[in-house]
Amino acid sequence: MGECADFMEQGFQASEQKSSSREAIENAQAGNQPVIEVENVTKAFHTPDQGMMVALEDITLSIPYGEFVTVVGPSGCGKSTLLKLIAGLTPISGGRILYQGSEVQGLNTKVGYVPQESKLFPWLTLEENVAFGLDPKRYSRQERERQVRYFINLAGLSGFEKYYPAQLSGGMGKRASIIRALAYEPPVILMDEPFGPLDAQTRMILQDELLKIWEQKRQTIIFVTHDLVEAVALADRVVVITHRPGRVKDFIQVPMRRPRNIFEIHRQEGFDEAYGRLWNIFRNELNIGAA
């Protein structure tokens, strides 16, 4: 199933090796310490027709514990590549990335990763997929069952525990993919346009459910999207990436209070201000790309 599935499997198997205890994470949150630091990172690829192509250049980004960050930019600017670098799925060409103060060298099994596709294991039922990351060395059978039941209920998937992925709708598969990453409670979740291909109604429902889960767990989320409304609606802070080679153009702090009503997000105080600023920056990048 490719590198994403391999990454998730290794991440789940190594989840019990998290170096930071819950107490250490809470202390870091209180001190607003960064969980991820991207320092002057560059990523170049060799292409058959263009030779070396620079996808990302001199990216610097610091993300504290518990922050919900969205990343936007023109198509092909390196947003997904940035997530893969943080996850250790692909090596950097220059600079360095720190996770909980230690440099990422190879696969970062301590973060959760939700790719654009659902990537559920087709031979496992919904409950087996969600339970996959709950290593029996860390969790007793009763604890595993309790954790799986909790997240399935949280995602509104009760009654479908014995269903296989092929029997679930697209939206249900997305929800299952998300809660599988959340269930073993990594400090950081990387999400690569997880709602991209869904219809507008399903997308809003899943956005609302994701925010409800995040409000309860307060894990750090880095969420790549091409949808500017989604970027503002979900985030504490929006990172804007330039046209390729991708660089950090700007940061936008979203002033809206939480909890948020996704279904009436345009009416919430602070939305117009954040969206207007984001659109002005993004429009300029689109013009540069066209030129």
**Which residues contact residue 23 at a Cβ distance below 8 angstroms, ignoring those fewer than 6 apart?**
none
**Which residues contact residue 57 at a Cβ distance below 8 angstroms, ignoring those fewer than 6 apart?**
42, 245, 246, 247
The confidence score (pLDDT) of residue 67 equals: 96
Residue pLDDT, tens place only, 165-192: 999 988 888 888 888 888 878 889 999 9
Provide the CATH number for the domain around residue 195: 3.40.50.300
Domain that holds residue 98: 2-290
The confidence score (pLDDT) of residue 234 equals: 97
Distance (Å) of CA 129 to CA 120, 191, 214: 7, 18, 20
Instruction: Read off the pTM.
Output: 0.82
Residue pLDDT, tens place only, 243-270: 889 999 999 999 999 999 999 999 999 9
The whole-angstrom separation of Cα 27 and Cα 61 is 21
Please, which residues bridge with residue 72 across strands? 240
- Spans in the chain with pLDDT lower than 50: 1-24, 30
**Which residues contact residue 12 at a Cβ distance below 8 angstroms, ignoring those fewer than 6 apart?**
132, 133, 134, 135, 184
The whole-angstrom separation of Cα 69 and Cα 257 is 15
Question: How many domains are contained in the chain?
Answer: 1
CB atoms within 10 A of CB 13: 14
Angle formed at CA 44 by CA 40 and CA 50, multiple of 5 degrees: 145
The confidence score (pLDDT) of residue 8 equals: 45
